[in-house]
Amino acid sequence: MRRQVDSDGDGIPDSEDIDDDNDGIPDIKEDDDGDGIPNSQDNDDDGDGIPDDDEDDDGDGVPNSQDNDDDGDGIPDDQEDDDGDGIINSQDTDDDGDGIADDIEGKNLEIFSYIIK
């Protein structure tokens, strides 16, 4: 059974989210490896030569797309708490605990600096 992943914790599963990392760039325009092919059309988003469907971050032989614990730390991905504040990432408004809300982090700072000026 495939799990519903919500990478940015906004309550919208990545499969339905138009910006699943919440960086302000629509997923259809993202190009992580800079090869000129948008991730939505690229079968190797990071350019490492391994098709995305076969990526296995923790080396346990289970592709990330089917693995409930991608990083192999013994904590199911949907229960991860990156900043250790007791709030799981999918419910935490600041997953990394840096004081910048996840829905703001990674967005174009030129826009924000213009507003502040």
* Confidence (pLDDT) at 60: 95
User: Which residues have CB under 8 Å from 25's CB, separation 6+?
Assistant: 19
Q: Which residue has the higher pLDDT, 27 or 57?
A: 57
Q: How confident is the model at residue 10 (pLDDT cuts 50, 70, 90)?
A: confident
Each domain of the chain, given as residue ranges in start order, spans 1-117
Residue of 107, 102, 97 lying closest to 10 (CA atoms): 102
- pLDDT tens across 52-79, in order? 999 999 999 999 889 999 899 999 988 9
Residue of 102, 109, 112 lying closest to 20 (CA atoms): 102
Residue 38 to residue 48: CA distance in whole angstroms: 15
Residue of 52, 62, 55, 68 lying closest to 4 (CA atoms): 68
